[in-house]
Amino acid sequence: MKYPEVFTEADLNALDVQSSFPNRGARQELISRLQAQLDRLVQEIKKSGASVKGLPADSKAAGDIQVSLGEKLELITKIQSKLKRLQNPQTGITQITIENFKGISAPVTIPLRPITLLFGANSAGKSTIIQALHYARRTFRPPFTTVFARPKSLTLARSPSAS
């Protein structure tokens, strides 16, 4: 997989660090590229900080450098967050997809994180999601019928005629 040498904020937002990588090498390559960019940004901030010290505080150049520093700090924060998730990936089921279960007809995919909150208006389907998980738990006991487990996800599918 090809990764850019320099990640923009948009690249980082689009980067799904929970997705499965074809191999360990791809994950390590991404980690090393992000770490290299993080190191470069830290060095740039140190140089910019040193150059802003010699400028008057109210000068336009000092203001421009401060804005640039703020943008770089935001990018550093995002890179550090992505690195943390890459180096300590979530294990277990990372998403569930529910289809043709009670009031849910079209596929609904719910990403799971270490803490996942379900909230919404009355009759929004919160209880249906919990009931689908209970159904999956019961179904995982032999014989297995309608639950299909894929790496890092769980898909629940019942035929529309099933009760």
Domain map (residue ranges) of the chain: 9-87, 95-157
If pLDDT is split at 50, 70 and 90, which confidence band does 163 have?
A: very low
pLDDT of residue 17: 60
Is a pLDDT exceeding 90 seen at residue 91?
A: no
- Across 111-147, b (16+ Cβ under 10 Å) vs e yields ebeeeeeeeeeeeebeebbeebeebbeeeeeeeeeeb
Say yes or no to pLDDT of 151 above 80: no
pTM of the model: 0.52
What pLDDT score was predicted for residue 101? 87
pLDDT score, position 59: 79
Q: Quote the pLDDT of residue 162.
A: 46
